[in-house]
Amino acid sequence: MAKAQAPDERPATDLEAGGEAPTADAARIASMLEQIAVTGTVPRRPGITRLAYSEPERAAHRLFAGWLEEIGLAVHTDAAGNTIAQLPGTDLDAPAIAIGSHLDSVPEGGRFDGIVGVVGAVEAARVLAGRDARTTHPLRFVAFAAEEGARFGEPCIGSKIVARRLRTATLARRDRDGVSLAEAMAGVGVDSRRLSEAAWDPADWAAFLELHIEQARVLESGGRRIGLVDSVSGSTRVRITVLGQADHSGGTPMHMRVDALAAAAEIIVAAERLANEPQNRGARITVGQIQVAPNSITTISGQADVTVDIRDLDWDRQRAIAERVVQLASEVGERRGAGVEVDLLAHTTPVVLPMWIRTVAAETCSDLGIPYRVLPSGAGHDAQVINAIVPAGIVFVPSRGGLSHVPDEWTNPTDVALGVDVLCGMVDRLDAVLTSGAKGTTDESA
């Protein structure tokens, strides 16, 4: 059997090798990606683990800050743990055009999700700062904290804080080790009592751009290297706790059992069946975590906790499916004589991103001679949250095989460099559009 290739040893495909050479430096991008990956490497464990408000995440933020300081930008960390750098514009009073993404990961995830957008922001800063002419608007480069919801169930914590959309109750949420969000923040020097100081004034920000890997197969299968996102799925996350009766596995007859794990399994299958119903085509339901107590081979389960992630581009359907999942769980519990408790972990609505920013992106791609594809995003992003207060746009680059949140996640640095070229072109065009006042309204539909 042939030896499997490591991600950075895989040969470039025609998709990755074709097209014009990027202005951004793909080799430098690859180097930055590798340096950040080191901060999330755990001995004898696969992939990258750089959880929200952990020391590895802070180490990655320090790398980001150091690279931008080397370029000559002023850098600071806000009260939420987000890292922000600024390149001044010629109009000191103009609102800023921003580029950014996140640096945390899921447990044993990949080295590109979020990181591509942060490294892309650094490379864009190098390109834009290295030119003779400055933009009218100042430029900001942002690394958000805690975008992944893997640790506390709540996604996009850093961006929700700046958008004033984080529920205070979320600070008490605990991870699987019993550490609360507030305690995790304190552990890395973030004071949860001062989070309001990180809030953005919408008047100080003109637009926000995020470069991200697609996390799907549409671009790769269609031979396109750039995707322009028109809409982003919402997500409703709940924890369902099934309360049964722990008992001896040999001494308890089958008809006398209240098996929490068996009830949870039935709920999981019912949720999967619900997602596959024709009227729910396009919706996604995932049970990614299950915890069982007492978790013994010879004991009937007395409690089972499952997390359910419901995603959809249709807000009404997302809400209706979430309600139906809860109803199904209650029906299973009642039939089996088990208790069922439901806790809402997080809720993010789907969004349609501003058409005028996507038009700027399309015109930029046309100027650069880059074919593109307009497509939705099934995954959530910081830009989705920021769009509530600042017009936002998302540019995708291909994910090999569509893989994401796994060690095999891979995007070619040459594609990332091309995405940076698009970002830089968008900054120039946005600067001109915003200066002339020719943009459309932020509530235009796609």
Q: Are 69 and 129 in contact (CB under 8 A)?
A: no
Q: Average pLDDT in the 173-180 region? A: 95
- Enumerate the domain spans of the chain: 7-233+350-436, 235-348
Kindly indicate the confidence band of residue 442, based on its pLDDT and cuts at 50, 70 and 90: very low
pLDDT of residue 437: 80
pLDDT of residue 17: 41
**pTM, two decimal places:** 0.88
Judged against a pLDDT cut of 80, whether residue 247 lies above it is answered with: yes
The residue ranking higher by pLDDT, 63 or 6, is 63
Within a 10 A sphere around the Cβ of 348, how many other Cβ atoms? 22
Residues 270-316: tens digit of each pLDDT: 999 999 999 999 999 999 999 999 999 999 999 999 999 999 999 99
Kindly indicate the confidence band of residue 161, based on its pLDDT and cuts at 50, 70 and 90: very high
CA end-to-end span of the chain, whole Å? Answer: 49
Judged against a pLDDT cut of 80, whether residue 438 lies above it is answered with: no
Report d(CA 184, CA 55) in Å as an integer. Answer: 10
pLDDT over 70 percentage in the chain: 93
Closest to 142 measured CA to CA, from 56, 81, 195, 231: 81
Report d(CA 162, CA 180) in Å as an integer. Answer: 20
pLDDT over 90 percentage in the chain: 90
Kindly indicate the confidence band of residue 133, based on its pLDDT and cuts at 50, 70 and 90: confident
Q: Are 143 and 64 in contact (CB under 8 A)?
A: yes
Report d(CA 23, CA 27) in Å as an integer. Answer: 12
Q: What is the mean pLDDT of the chain?
A: 93
3-class DSSP state for residue 123?
A: helix
- Plot region of 53 (φ>0 → left; ψ -120 to 50 → alpha; else → beta): left
Q: Are 372 and 230 in contact (CB under 8 A)?
A: no
CA separation, residue 380 to residues 101, 114, 309, 312, 351 (Å): 12, 11, 12, 10, 10
Q: Average pLDDT in the 130-155 region? A: 95
Q: Hey, what are 148's tokens? A: 């992944």
Pick the CATH number of 235-348 from 1.10.1040.10, 3.30.70.360, 3.30.2130.10, 3.40.50.920: 3.30.70.360
Report d(CA 260, CA 246) in Å as an integer. Answer: 8
CA separation, residue 400 to residues 7, 63, 90, 221, 333 (Å): 10, 26, 40, 10, 42
pLDDT of residue 372: 97
Residues 4-50: tens digit of each pLDDT: 333 333 333 333 444 444 599 999 999 999 999 999 999 989 999 99
Residues 96-129: tens digit of each pLDDT: 999 999 999 999 999 999 999 999 999 999 999 9
Check whether domain 7-233+350-436 has CATH 3.40.630.10, yes or no:
yes
Report d(CA 164, CA 388) in Å as an integer. Answer: 10
Report d(CA 424, CA 426) in Å as an integer. Answer: 5
